[in-house]
Amino acid sequence: MSDDTKKTLSTKFSWKMYGVILILLAIGVFAKVPTFILVEQLVHKPEVWGQVFLFTFIEQFLIFGVIPAALGLLLMSRLGLHIPLLENWLLGESHEVDLWKLLRESIIFALGLAVIGVVVQLLIEQDLQDLNVLGLGVGQNLQPNAQTTWWSMLLLSFSAGIVEEIVFRLGLLTILAWGVNLLWRPRGGRLKPGAFWVVNILTALFFSLAHFVNYSAIEVSLTFGLIWKTIVGNSLAALVFGWLYWKRGLGSAMLTHFLLDVCIYVLAPPLLAAFV
């Protein structure tokens, strides 16, 4: 395939790619429903499960997923951003992808972020306990009457890795990058490092703010400590996910996000319970 043909393919919106992204998004959205049912104590109310599925689908798939994914796919290649595995498979492109290297890097980044994440989660849980509120993080999972289970948190980790990366990296970061590029006007249209870090920081802040919805769900009053710990913990992870999207592709960001959440919400609780 000639370079001109590859360029044409990479800058043209692919409905096949969009369809695969929407399938992944739908699977990710529904993967978080079991955790919601457990947290809201709806296990013994199967008559409302359909409403939960419908609400989740409308909010996170139709409202926050469909349009950002479409815009991201339309704009990403113009900025030099890619989804290498899917582009190779669906568009016949030839990105060099070392799967073992990708997995090693994702594990290393996930473990490094998990150490920081566990500490931040424990600090947040302590704040919630001081406010007489039972949280949903690492500390909560150490409680004998924890509402969540390891398998529901595994599904939630998978959901976060898929849905949040599609919405925030493929969607928001790409859209912001395109807007900044209009002002930056780089030669060749590719996203320059300075422009990238501007939009990566902005996206990380939006990503952090989105997590405050969890506090409203458990009706907790925000304190300065909760605010800065939530912003710092989530922003640091988001900056790494954004960098991976920029340098390695969306799949790398998804895998690292998934592994990070598995470390924090699935593996950390039993380890802390055993040694603390």
Q: What is the pLDDT of residues 64-92, one digit of tens each?
A: 999 999 999 999 988 989 999 999 999 88
What is the band of 146 on the pLDDT scale with cuts at 50, 70, 90? low
* DSSP character at residue 133: -
Contact by Cβ (8 Å): 234, 87:
no
Q: 204 to each of 11, 26, 34, 151, 258, how far by Cα in Å? A: 26, 23, 27, 28, 17
CB neighbours of residue 54 within 10 Å? 10
Q: What is the pLDDT of residue 140?
A: 47
CB neighbours of residue 205 within 10 Å? 14
Rounded Cα–Cα distance for residues 16 and 92 (Å): 12
Please determine, for residue 6, whether its predicted confidence score (pLDDT) is greater than 60.
no
Tell me what percent of the residues of the chain surpass a pLDDT of 70.
Answer: 84
What is the band of 192 on the pLDDT scale with cuts at 50, 70, 90? confident
The two structure tokens encoding residue 82: 């890619």
pTM for this model (two decimals): 0.89
- Domain assignment of residue 236, given as a range: 3-275
The string of pLDDT tens digits covering residues 164-185 is 999 999 999 999 999 998 887 7
Q: What is the pLDDT of residue 141?
A: 43
Number of domains the chain contains: 1
* DSSP character at residue 66: H
